[in-house]
A and B are shown apart, each in its own frame.
Chain A
Amino acid sequence: MHPTETWIFRILVLGFAAAFAAQVGTRARLIRRARNNLRVRDDETGRRLLRFITEVIFQSRTIAERPAVGLAHLGVYWGFAAFGIYTGVEFLAGLGIADFTGSRWFHLYAFALVPFSAAVILGITGLLIRRAIVRPAALGDRVSGESVLIGCFILTLMVTFLLAFRWEAGLAARVNWWVHAMVILGFLVLIPDSKHFHLVLSPLTVYLRAPILATVPNLDFEQEQVGLETVADVERKQVLDAFTCVECGRCQVNCPAHATGKPLNPKTLILRNEEALLAGELDRRLADVFDAKVLWQCTTCGACEAQCPVGVEHLPLIIGARRGLASNGEAPDALAAVYNHLERRGNIWGLGADLRQKFVQSAGVEIFDAARHEYLVWLGCAGSFEADFQKSLRSLFDILRAHRVTFGVLARERCTGDVAKRTGNEYQFQELARANIEDFTAAGVTTIVTSCPHCLRTMGVDYREFGFTAEVIHSAALVADLTRTTTVPGTGHVAFHDPCYLGRYAGVTEEPRDLLVRFGATVHEPDRHGANPFCCGAGGGLLFEEHEEGRRISQERLEQLERTGASTIVTACPFCSIMLKGAQASANTQVEFVDLISFVDGRMKGATASAPRP
């Protein structure tokens, strides 16, 4: 290389590096000034490293949702990683620091890169075609010119890399070298201000993501925390999330609110947050940044967060902003009534404890006694007051009795605080949680069984922060285990509706299907099922907000389930059951509903009744 060339290159590198550093600096300052909410416990390190390997190095989440696109991305990603040293060596040479480009190992390395470059060319061409020509809705309404430019950059890098084999010296080789180097520098300065900043941040955000979906730590009232009110309150991980978002739209296409025509779009939330941060609007209310209305359209189903390939956590942001509103008395009217009911009666419907007592007595259930009972059966608000769900609990009691399992219930219960937690009424949640935990401790409870996935999550995960240690299981898991050797022949085509808080949150997807199959049903799956179900529309306090913008989520889900052709829909959550039955009553269709536990109980009793008597 000519000395003048070297000097020109040095100046250019310096200039571009300075531009890169300036852009990164703005973001670094915003990250540093945010409240530090990064909590990585020592005992989680193993799990986080494992996730880093699967999700960053092997791109499992990128591939899971969109295999073709994911594999194309994997090709580009590995190509980038493989080219790292190549670029480093070329730059060292270009800067006149050290020249290894003539060495034998470098030639071997360059040859080894050829298949990688092919993978990148294939991958990036596919991704460019998708972005510029196919244009899926997830990528937004207009084609991002910047992304197309960067795609072309990557393509140019690969082509110039391959051309270097043909032109080893002379003018063509120099021009080729310069094109390659300038594209890298151009790419460098485009990174921080584009979605490509995920190259830098996403390994970090994936590692830092909470090990459990939708983790929203308790507010510390001693520290006068009230949730997120303004952009300045947004916490460190959420700021990192805002800058790492790759705008792929997986959250958007999986969001039930977005799918039913509501303005809520999880991707937009993250991008609005980024815009507000970069614009320095630290004093702006989040309710204005996001539009308060959309914050209350989230069912907390968790689909966005569970699908995000770069570790963005949407729920701490949404629930954090709800907390900011709820703390200022700005929760929607429908919730104000619920909070009142929780305050006065300790249940979401504001019904009298006498109704629960009546049910407990008529079901012949004993009050829990640690000396005699293995399990505490937790009724929850629905089990205490909702006639339909009480049938499911009667079935559970019968199954437990048939298997000689000892159990009791508490003399009184309060709501676990699920609705309060998800809607940002943190104070009420903590009051309910502490009171319930006190009762559990006093009663000597060690294992809790509940049929409500929301109670399952709240007691089994959210209560841990208060030091609660009892095991909490869903009745489907217990019943599957108790009946594991039982098979009852039967007929019937059913579709199982996975509750979000059971399938996605708790990962209980096998047990319900195992039960249905062993008890003689043919299971039909809707498009969205298992660990990525489509919400019924009840979560996050929306059970009480029946006036929905756009289509009803419950209506959409009912249609998805009906399209399986199954004559019966099996539910395993009182909220799902209420929502889907409501949708069916409005749609006036013929499909039938049965609760999972009632189904098993019915088949077991049917088998006993028809068995030949000795």
Chain B
Amino acid sequence: MILVIAEQQGGTLNKASWEAIAAAQQMGGPVTAAVLGADTGAPAAELAAADVAEVLRVEAPALTPYTLDGFVSALSQVVRAEQPGDVYLPHTYQTRDFAPALAVHLGRALVTDCVAARQADGRRLFVRPVFQGRLLADVACEGPALATFQIGAVRADSVVRGAAPAAVRTVAVTVDAGAIRQQPEDPFREAKQAVDLTQAERIVAVGRGIKDPDKVALARQLAAALGAELGASRPICDAGWLPMDRQIGSSGQTVAPKLYLALGISGAIQHLVGMKGARTIVAVNKDPEAPIFEVADYGVVGDLFEIVPAVIKELQG
């Protein structure tokens, strides 16, 4: 049996929990989901919609708000009582906080940041990226393990729903509030950037080569045609041609889109470190010596005012 630890806050399930359940279901065996807190009625009922053997409500007053000691204590009791095989967790900030301690308490291996799990030759393997995502490693471990799943690696909508709601069982755990060393403060949310380029799949970025604030419209058209976000290097934002929250680089946002189109960006290192994680980099620049070509997968040496309109025409035609 695979035990999936779902994550909830204030009664709302974290979407990544569904992804961990989907990963567990894909292994073909029975799956049990557990959710922790002082009151887990609502999230447990929600989880019961999935095709799982059982949903465990792990309840104790000291489990809300979240603390590392509280969770490790409660989950150690649950795992010892239920004796599951592997334990799956979404790779959230909260998991990152308690999972290592839990693994040590249980004497189990912990495989972090997995993108998949699969069976091969009668062994179950965890797949995780290494070398900054350049390679995927198959990790085999002896005995039941803990595994955390990268957010977005498994589609949440691939969760198999049950014909009828699964059984919900409350598991009594004792968590000694006095033994908890952490003193959580009120949660806060960092002021969200108006423009979040970090999640963009495609980005069209402009640099000093655009020359004129009016010409930014051209890049905007291309971005619209590509369904891309618009970004910029520092001089463009310094000059106020685009707002600061569109700046990409060491003092702006660090992005990793599938496609990064650099228009008239020379590629100063301060910019490169902010976009080097892009999967495919296409650069258009007049200067064949521009450092951007060192990192570009496709480089066009030429006038962006000729090239960009032609590309837009191609995309729209």
Contacts and interface: CB of A to CB of B under 8 A. Distances in A.
Nearest to B252: A546
Interface stretch (A23-31, A216-224, A347-355, A425-433): A347-355
A387 B235 contact: no
A334 B235 contact: no
B132 interface: yes
A582 interface: yes
A387 B273 contact: no
A578 B270 CA distance: 8
A387 B294 contact: yes
A588 B209 CA distance: 10
B238 interface: yes
Given A350-B273, A351-B276, A578 B132 contact: no
B234 A585 contact: yes
Interface string A545-585: 11100000000000000000000000000000010011001
Interface residues of A, number: 21
A257 B249 CA distance: 23
B273 A388 contact: no
A546 B291 contact: no
A10 to B, nearest CB: 66
Given A585-B208, A586-B235, A588-B239, A546 B270 contact: yes
Interface centre among B207, B239, B294 (most CB of A within 10 A): B294
Given A585-B235, A586-B238, A586-B239, A546 B273 contact: no
B208 A588 contact: yes
Given A350-B273, A387-B294, A582-B270, A334 B250 contact: yes
A588 B241 CA distance: 13
Contacts of B269: 349, 382, 385-388, 578
Contacts of B250: 334, 337, 544, 546
Nearest to B267: A387
B198 interface: no
Contacts of B273: 349-351
Interface in A342-377: 349-352
Contact of B251 (A349, A382, A546): A546
B270 A547 contact: no
A582 B251 contact: no
Contacts of B251: 334, 544-547
B241 to A, nearest CB: 11
B27 interface: no
Interface string A576-614: 001001100110100000000000000000000000000
Contacts of B208: 585, 588
Interface in A29-52: none
Contacts of A544: 250-251
Nearest to A344: B132
Contacts of B234: 546, 582, 585-586
A544 B249 CA distance: 10
A582 B208 CA distance: 10
A387 B291 contact: yes
B268 interface: yes
A179 B251 CA distance: 64
Contacts of B233: 585
A352 B233 CA distance: 22
B276 A585 contact: no
B208 to A, nearest CB: 5
Interface centre among B208, B238, B266, B269 (most CB of A within 10 A): B269
Contacts of A588: 208, 235, 239
Contacts of A547: 251
A196 to B, nearest CB: 45
Contacts of A351: 273, 276
B96 to A, nearest CB: 15
A585 B268 contact: yes
A545 B268 CA distance: 15
Nearest to A381: B269
Interface centre among B132, B238, B251 (most CB of A within 10 A): B238
Nearest to B250: A544
B61 to A, nearest CB: 32
Interface of A: 334, 337, 349-352, 382, 385-388, 544-547, 578, 581-582, 585-586, 588
Given A388-B291, A585-B208, A585-B234, 15 more contacts: A334-B251, A349-B273, A351-B276, A386-B291, A387-B267, A387-B269, A388-B268, A388-B269, A546-B234, A546-B270, A547-B251, A578-B269, A585-B266, A586-B234, A588-B208
Interface of B: 132, 207-208, 233-235, 238-239, 249-251, 266-270, 272-273, 276, 291, 294
6 contacts: A334-B250, A351-B273, A382-B269, A546-B234, A582-B234, A585-B234
Q: Please give me the 6 A-B residue pairs with the lowest Cβ-Cβ distance, nearest first.
A: A546-B251, A387-B291, A586-B238, A585-B235, A586-B235, A386-B269
